Amino acid sequence: MRSIRWRVAGPATLAVLVVLVVASLAILLGQRARMRAELDEGTPAQIADAHEDVDEATAALAVTLAVAVPVVVVALGGLVWWLVGRTLRPVEAMRAEVARIGGRDLHRRVPEPPVDDEVGRLAHTMNQMLERVEDATRRQQRFVADASHELRSPLTRMRAALEVDVAHPSRADMTATHHSVLEEAVGLQHLVDDLLRLARSDAAPSDEPVGTDTVDLDDVVLRLARRHRADGRVTVDTSGVGAAQVVGDRAQLARAVGNVADNAVRYATTTVRFTLADSDGHAVLTITDDGPGIPAADRERVFERFTRLDDARSTSTGGAGLGLAIARDIVHRHQGTLTVDPTNVTGTRLVLTLPSVL
The 10s digit of each residue's pLDDT in 237-290 is 999 999 999 999 998 999 999 999 999 998 899 999 999 999 889 999 999 999
Three-class DSSP category at 274: strand
pLDDT of res. 312: 44
H or E segment to which residue 353 belongs:
strand 348-355
Which burial class, exposed, middle or buried, applies to 10 when counting CB atoms under 10 A from its CB (0-12, 13-18, 19+)? exposed
Of the candidate ranges 12-16, 202-206, 215-219, 285-289, the one whose mean pLDDT is the lowest: 12-16
Choose between 12 and 350: higher pLDDT. 350
* Dihedral over Cα of 148, 154, 157, 158: its sign: negative
d(CA 28, CA 26): 5
Of the pLDDT bands very low, low, confident and very high (cuts 50, 70, 90), residue 95 is: confident
Distance of CA 148 to the CA centre of its chain: 26
Kindly give the pairing relationship between strand 271-279 and strand 282-289: antiparallel
Q: Is the pLDDT of residue 211 over 60?
A: yes
Residues 48, 39: Cα–Cα separation, whole Å:
9
pLDDT at residue number 47: 46
How many C-beta atoms surround the C-beta of residue 130 within 10 A?
19
- Asked whether the CA dihedral 170, 176, 178, 184 is positive or negative, the reply is negative
Instruction: Report pLDDT digits (tens) over 112-130.
Output: 887 777 878 888 888 888 8
For residue 329, give the amino acid letter.
D
User: Could you read off the pLDDT of 36-66 as tens digits, one per residue?
Assistant: 544 445 444 444 455 566 667 777 777 777 7
Residue 118 amino acid letter: E
Instruction: Encode pLDDT of 291-339 as tens digits.
Output: 988 888 888 988 888 777 654 444 445 566 788 988 999 999 999 999 9
Closest CA to 275 of 326, 327, 221, 231: 221
CB neighbour class for 236 (10 Å; exposed up to 12, middle 13-18, buried from 19): buried
pLDDT given for residue 107 in this prediction: 81
Residue 1: pLDDT band by 50, 70, 90 thresholds? very low
- Residue range 188-198: average pLDDT? 83
| Alpha carbon distance 105, 134 (integer Å) | 9
How far out from the chain centre does Cα 333 lie? 15
CA atoms within 13 A on the CB side of 96: 7
- Cα separation, 277 vs 166, in Å, equals 57
Residue 278 has what DSSP assignment? Answer: E
Q: Find, among 264, 328, 308, 258, the residue nearest to 153 by Cα.
A: 308
Is a pLDDT exceeding 50 seen at residue 351? yes
Query: What is the value of pTM for the model shown?
Result: 0.63
Model confidence pLDDT, tens digit, residues 134-181: 888 887 787 787 778 778 888 888 999 899 889 988 888 888 889 889
Residue 114 CB contacts under 8 Å (≥ 6 apart), including other chains: 120
Give the pLDDT of residue 188: 87
Give first-to-last CA distance, the chain, whole Å. Answer: 95
What DSSP line would sit under 51-106, residue for residue?
A: HHHHHHHHHHHHHHHHHHHHHHHHHHHHHHHHHHHHHHHHHHHHHHHHHH--TT-T
